[in-house]
Amino acid sequence: MKVSVSWLKDLVEYNNEIDELSEKLSMTGFEVESLEDLSEQAKNVVIGFVEEITPHPNAKKLKVCSVDVGLPKKLSIVCGAPNVKAGFHVLVAKVGAYLSSKSLKIKLSNLRGVESEGMICSLEELGIESSNVGIEILEENESNIPPIGTNAVDYLGLNDTIIELAITANRPDGMSMVGIAREISTITNSKLTLPTLNYNVDFNIFNPKISDKETIGLDCIYSITYIDSIDNTGKTNKTIFNKLSSLKQNCINPVVDITNYLMLEQGQPLHAFDADLLDNIVGRKVIPNDFGIRNGKEGELFLALDKKEYKINPKIKLITCDDIPIAIAGVIGGNNSSVSDKTTRIWLEAAVFTPTSIRNSSREIGLRTDASSRYEKGISSNMTTAVSKRASELISIELGGKNISAYVNTEFKKKSISVNLRMEKINSVLGKLRCPDINDVDSNSNTLRFLNEAEVETLLSKLGCILTSNSAGWNVQIPPYRSSDLTREIDLIEEIARLIGYDNFDSNMPDPLEPGVLTPTKLVERRLRNSFTHNGFQEVVTSSLVGPDNTDENAVLIKNPLLSETSRLRTNVWDDHLKILQRNVSFGAEGCWIFEIAKTYKKNKESFVETNLLSGALTGSKRLSKWGEASKQISLDYFEARGKLKQSLQVIGVETIDKRLTDIDFMHPGRTSEIFVEGKSIGFFGQIHPSQSEKFDLIRETYLFNLEFDSLIKAATRKTNWTRIYKEYPTVPYMERDIALIHSKKYSSLEIMNLIKKSGRPLLENVDLIDRYEGSSIPEDAISQAFRLRYRDPKKTLIEEDINPIHEKIRNALREKIKAELRS
């Protein structure tokens, strides 16, 4: 929201410097984003008088002007404007002037052999919107012309500073000059001089054809006013023109400029339809009940005021006349009913639509206007008819218009909001104040006291509230311009604290303050994050909102997304992770290892399922040293990558078991394993499918892992795992034996190792796979593997006679259970 300081001074009598005022506004919730001094646009630009014009000796289209700018010597300026004439006042940029709108510094220059000592300017060259062609001739726009040589700042209305404010969603009143003036009056204790509004509802009742109840809710309003005998051929009032120009508003014609002026002043958007054009559209004289609101039709086209044609769909709300679209509700008007200098009769629309309907329409056509931005925040419908009346009065005064009739929809009922406020609740919520006087706050004061009733009444009265005392406190009647955000007792208490300043209240911390302790779940989560980081991974955070995916029927769709790219909740994380790998590799990274603790979402019949995942991806090498390495990129093989995951999970003390997995379409069928914890499948690890590596332009040796985080946490925090059991370190040596066997491929090494462990009790301590072979020397459906067995008795040193029976038992079990052929 841009705020004109000179306009503010017409509305509120304050004496603060700009910097001080900016600080006060920021501290009360209206953050100042920037300050702009408009006078810089016309620095060193003065009023000049063209005394004589001679043709340029070397250019037919150029003229040499002798211009008086109040100096002893007349300036010789070369000008090419077609409308430059002798005997008229003009705007002259002297040598040294800087025209910021054109990024042009005026220098002494030679144009086709003639020296030019400045530049005669148009309004456009000074950064002011204008429909005039050529330079600005002061006699055409102003009867009281400033003296020759004076600065042009006042004539141009640029003696002003613009404050840009960030307006929060709960303060729609801040989207108007009057709203900011009220705020300044409250925080500086200054007198307001606001335009008078007539809140009496004396409109006729009519029944617009509203087929879509979502656009006009219970708290909304739709009104139209018929005005004729308008003279729209002249120029906009100079005061209104300057105020609009200072806020970068295009000045179109007097009627449109008045509606824009009141939108900026009061925060209520207005729109004028040319009544004659509406009659032509309908083919007869339009009556109030011809107006309506409906959803757009699929494929319907709409030509707007910006001369662009928009494709309409059912999500877009249209204002219609006899069911013919004449505006996109709350966003932009139609070219078929636009007001021009030929307009003599208008229908003036003043309405409040639901924020959701306007936001949907604005997003669908990709256009956000000053009007739509106000509707989206939710303006008060209690002010609509009053602002419409003020617009009618201005059109009558400035343009001679006659207000023939005014109408409001039957469903609108003006509401008066009152809230009960208790003194006890105020003191309970806010606590004690650290100052003797709220008008002279001192954060370093040692005086602690509660607010008194007189102070509360003073503060709320400044907001425009009307207070009626009762036994517990007050009944507070909310002013119309704050009826959308002051609806509860706590809202009023927050306003009191905001106006005094939150930092002026005493802090009320718990006593004693006990330090927090991490729960086992949070402790395991922290250990996992640290472990992955220590093993070379980088943690990433990806958005839960993703674009449309027509292939997933279980996706959770967002009902009112801001963008199509964020229209649903993600059902997987690996897709984003592969994009991260692709981006890093394309920027020259030799390796990228990432992990994330993330959530995915799916729809399950009528409910939604939220799943916590520990997910990640690896590609390439992350070695620190390059000495002795080949020049080509070194990648991780399957077992190295799986080992990195195993190392990272070791910190939580949970054993993971891998089993072959072949049914995930985006994973390599021969290099993917399903991971089990405590006999339950919790996810997968493996190499991505070649089609995926080609799609994301990644090397084939790229790996993904996706584990159920809650299952890992549950296993890690189980009492048997969480409580550490320490054993004595063995003091006796172990003995090792190897077993080599040929067996059918249908038996996995895990199954064989489990069989060996079961048969080798109680002396067998560990089993490792040390060799694996497939080739022509053994049958095609068989595989050769070798295992190393470690035996130990914690109480004595083993001898051959102790081991032989157990070792033989293992060999027999392998022959019988899996029909193995033993080679050693």
pLDDT digits (tens, 9 = 90+) for 75-96: 999 999 989 999 999 999 999 9
pLDDT by residue (tens digit) across 421-431? 999 999 999 98
- Is the predicted pLDDT of residue 510 greater than 70, yes or no? no
Q: What is the sign, positive or negative, of the torsion defined by CA atoms of 682, 686, 689, 694?
A: positive
- Is the predicted pLDDT of residue 768 greater than 60, yes or no? yes
pLDDT of residue 267: 92
Measured between alpha carbons, how far is 296 from 313 in angstroms, rounded to an integer?
Answer: 5
Q: CB–CB of 814/752 below 8 Å?
A: yes
* Greatest Cα pair distance in the chain: 127
pLDDT of residue 632: 56
pLDDT by residue (tens digit) across 785-814? 999 999 999 889 999 999 999 999 999 999
The mean pLDDT value for 318-328 works out to 94
Q: How confident is the model at residue 534 (pLDDT cuts 50, 70, 90)?
A: very high
Which residue spans within 38-113 are E strands per DSSP? 45-55, 63-68, 75-79, 89-94, 98-99, 104-105, 109-111
pLDDT of residue 625: 56
Amino acid found at 575 = D
Tokens 């993971």 — which residue? 656
Measured between alpha carbons, how far is 447 from 484 in angstroms, rounded to an integer?
Answer: 36
- Distance, C-alpha 359 to centroid of its chain: 13
Give the helix/strand (H/E) hosting 610: strand 607-620
> Which parts of 210-306 fold into alpha helices (H)?
238-246, 254-266, 275-282
Tokens 């157990």 — which residue? 806
pLDDT of residue 370: 92
pLDDT of residue 202: 77
φ, ψ dihedrals at 684, nearest 5°: -145, 160
Measured between alpha carbons, how far is 341 from 234 in angstroms, rounded to an integer?
Answer: 8
Top-confidence residue, 693 or 16: 693
Q: CB–CB of 412/220 below 8 Å?
A: yes
Which residue spans within 495-590 are E strands per DSSP? 538-539, 545-546, 556-557, 568-569
pLDDT of residue 545: 92
Interior CA angle at 504 toward 503 and 508, to 5°? 75
- Is the predicted pLDDT of residue 536 greater than 90, yes or no? yes
Nearest to 754 by CA among 681, 659, 824: 659
pLDDT of residue 650: 93
Nearest to 182 by CA among 17, 3, 32, 34: 3
pLDDT of residue 131: 65
Q: CB–CB of 600/623 below 8 Å?
A: no
pLDDT by residue (tens digit) across 639-662? 999 999 999 999 999 999 998 898
Integer angstrom CA distances of residue 571 from 36, 539, 542, 543, 664: 47, 20, 13, 12, 15
pLDDT of residue 624: 62
Q: How many Cα atoms are found within 13 Å in the side-chain-facing hemisphere of 589?
A: 18
- Is the predicted pLDDT of residue 69 greater than 90, yes or no? yes
pLDDT by residue (tens digit) across 564-585? 788 899 999 999 999 999 999 9
Contacts of 655 (CB under 8 A, 6+ apart): 677
Q: How confident is the model at residue 310 (pLDDT cuts 50, 70, 90)?
A: very high
Q: How confident is the model at residue 525 (pLDDT cuts 50, 70, 90)?
A: very high
Burial of 569 (0-12, 13-18, 19+ CB in 10 A): buried
pLDDT by residue (tens digit) across 732-763? 999 999 999 999 988 988 899 999 999 999 99
pLDDT of residue 511: 67
